């Protein structure tokens, strides 16, 4: 019994160990060699610690930004970054183990649903699953769930999304790819379906974005970290300018306050870069293991993959969707505070990936005009939903961040509106 207690208290509460053990079991189940098992387990452990390091960098850059934004514009400016939410939840809030186990539970529920129903989708976008596990853990915790219940409820909610989202998007994905080989596994799907709906009403299917001649200069935006910098640098500089030198002094010391702001904006991108490199190490062993298991258990499984797999099918639509979604998020940034909601700054990563995919959906259903109009509506939509969550994030102690991956936001709202009231009945 003592040994069991030791394991529970000292090992399973240490998130990096939990997730490394999950990877190890996966590798052993696949009958890998000892060398491969050790290699994969250690890489997973390393990946987790790299995520933590990235998170520390992001939090630092965000804390500074939060301070100057409040001083400069007299209101709270929230940066949407699911990476920042994940990093903070794992480290500062201490939900790392819960997230790791929920992540595993989502995989298992996904497998079970795919095995026993006609929806054969296997969700293979590891980082999206990790974000979903994060939101389920954070909001489950907020609802009062703890321990095993928190993990099981998270697994069920996340697992239903993991099969349901690819399933509802599939009719349009089939239209885009002309095949049924791949599905879309990206937790922004409710936004895409919303976009497709608007495009259907406003669009004109006879024209296509792919006939447009877009300026080549926009193509650098496909380089994630570069486009992140292009937005963060002016955002930090303008904010620091309005906040003035005195406000920055506590951070910058004797260096020039605008120079400091410039370097901090790069520092934010560094944080995202480090964190995502950690995620890459973390998932490198787990995702192939899951894929191997899934293809054995689920005959005719359809892999649900990350959204850029659709980008080569309509590259112009990606740019159109990105630009129109960004316009929508900028409009929402100014409009939402008028209704007493938080000011959410445009989140460049979601704008590119989700916006780009929304553009493809809009174009597939409503042509050029549909893609543009629905893209703007999409930007508004993905800013409105997270604005509803900001108070809860603040109560839980998150620093200036929210998430714009709408499916995870909908899962979070489900927790807030249904599970929390039910939990309150029993307490």
Partner 1 sequence: MKKLQLLMVCGAGLGSSFACQMSVEDVVQQFDLDVSLDHTDISSAVAMRPDIIITAENFKTQFEKYQIEEKIKIIYLKNIISKKEIAEKLLPVLKEKGAL
Element spanning 224, H or E: helix 224-252
Q: How many helices (H) and strands (E) does the chain have?
A: 15, 6
Coil, helix or strand for 123? strand
Query: By the 8 A CB rule, do 385 and 376 touch?
Result: no
For the chain, first and last CA: distance in Å?
Answer: 31
The DSSP-derived string for 250-306 is HHHTTS-HHHHHHHHHHHHHHHHHHHHHHHHHHHHHHHHHHHHHHHHHSTT-EEEE-
Angstrom distance (rounded) from CA 229 to CA 232: 5
Stretch that binds partner 1, among 36-44, 309-317, 336-344, 357-365 (CB under 8 A): 309-317
55, 125, 326, 357: which one binds partner 1 (CB under 8 A): 125
Q: Indicate whether 303 belongs to the interface with partner 1 (CB under 8 A).
A: yes
Closest distance to partner 1 from the beta carbon of 352 (Å): 8
Report the residue number, 126 or 203, with the smaller CB distance to partner 1.
126
Report the residue number, 309 or 384, with the smaller CB distance to partner 1.
309
**In angstroms, what CA-CA distances link 369 with 228, 330, 380?**
27, 20, 17
Angstrom distance (rounded) from CA 194 to CA 354: 12
Report the residue number, 204 or 219, with the smaller CB distance to partner 1.
219
Q: Indicate whether 210 belongs to the interface with partner 1 (CB under 8 A).
A: no
Stretch that binds partner 1, among 69-77, 96-104, 202-210, 298-306 (CB under 8 A): 298-306
Report the residue number, 225 or 417, with the smaller CB distance to partner 1.
225
Closest distance to partner 1 from the beta carbon of 125 (Å): 5
Q: Indicate whether 212 belongs to the interface with partner 1 (CB under 8 A).
A: no
What lies within 8 Å, CB to CB, of 52 at 6+ separation is 16, 87, 90, 91, 278
Residues within window 159-178 making contact with partner 1, judged by CB under 8 A: 177
Report the residue number, 72 or 308, with the smaller CB distance to partner 1.
308
Report the residue number, 181 or 204, with the smaller CB distance to partner 1.
181
- Chain residues binding partner 1 by CB under 8 A are 124-128, 177, 181-182, 186, 216, 219-220, 222-226, 276, 279-280, 283-284, 287-288, 291, 303, 305-309, 311-313, 315, 318, 349, 352-353
């Amino acid at each position: 019994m003592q040994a069991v207690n030791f394991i529970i208290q000292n090992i399973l509460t240490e998130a990096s160990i939990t997730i490394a053990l999950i990877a190890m079991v996966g590798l052993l189940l696949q009958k890998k060699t000892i060398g491969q098992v050790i290699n994969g387990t250690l890489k997973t452990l390393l990946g987790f610690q790299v995520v933590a390091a990235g998170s520390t960098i992001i939090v630092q850059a965000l804390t500074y930004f939060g301070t100057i934004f409040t001083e400069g514009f007299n209101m709270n400016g929230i940066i949407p970054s699911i990476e920042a939410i994940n990093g903070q939840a794992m480290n500062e809030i201490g939900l790392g183990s819960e997230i790791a186990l929920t992540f595993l539970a989502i995989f298992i529920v996904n497998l079970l649903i795919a095995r026993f129903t006609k929806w054969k989708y296997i969700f293979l976008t590891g980082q999206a699953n990790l974000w979903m596990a994060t939101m389920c853990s954070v909001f489950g915790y907020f609802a009062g769930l703890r321990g095993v219940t928190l993990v099981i409820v998270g697994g069920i909610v996340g697992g239903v999304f993991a099969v349901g989202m690819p399933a509802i998007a599939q009719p349009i994905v089939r239209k885009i790819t002309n095949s049924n080989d791949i599905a879309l596994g990206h937790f922004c799907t409710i936004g895409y379906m919303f976009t497709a709906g608007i495009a259907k009403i406003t669009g004109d299917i006879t024209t296509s974005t792919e006939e447009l001649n877009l300026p080549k200069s926009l193509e650098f935006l496909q380089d994630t970290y570069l486009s992140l910098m292009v937005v963060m640098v002016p955002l930090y500089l303008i904010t620091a300018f309005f906040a003035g030198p005195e406000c920055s002094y506590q951070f910058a010391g004797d260096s020039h306050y605008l120079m400091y702001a410039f370097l901090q904006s790069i520092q934010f991108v560094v944080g995202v870069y480090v964190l995502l490199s950690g995620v890459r190490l973390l998932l490198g062993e787990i995702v192939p293991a899951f894929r191997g298991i899934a293809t054995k258990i689920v005959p005719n499984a359809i892999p649900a993959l990350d959204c850029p797999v659709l980008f080569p099918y309509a590259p112009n639509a990606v740019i159109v969707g990105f630009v129109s979604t960004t316009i929508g998020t900028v409009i929402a940034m100014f409009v939402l505070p008028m209704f007493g909601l938080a000011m959410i700054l445009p989140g460049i990563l979601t704008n590119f990936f989700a916006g780009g995919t929304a553009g493809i959906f809009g174009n597939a259903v409503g042509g050029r005009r549909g893609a543009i109009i629905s893209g703007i509506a999409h930007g508004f939509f993905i800013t409105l939903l997270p604005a509803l969550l900001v108070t809860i994030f603040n109560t839980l102690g998150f620093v200036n961040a929210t998430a714009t991956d709408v499916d995870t936001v909908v899962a979070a709202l489900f927790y807030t509106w249904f599970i929390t009231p039910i939990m309150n009945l029993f307490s």
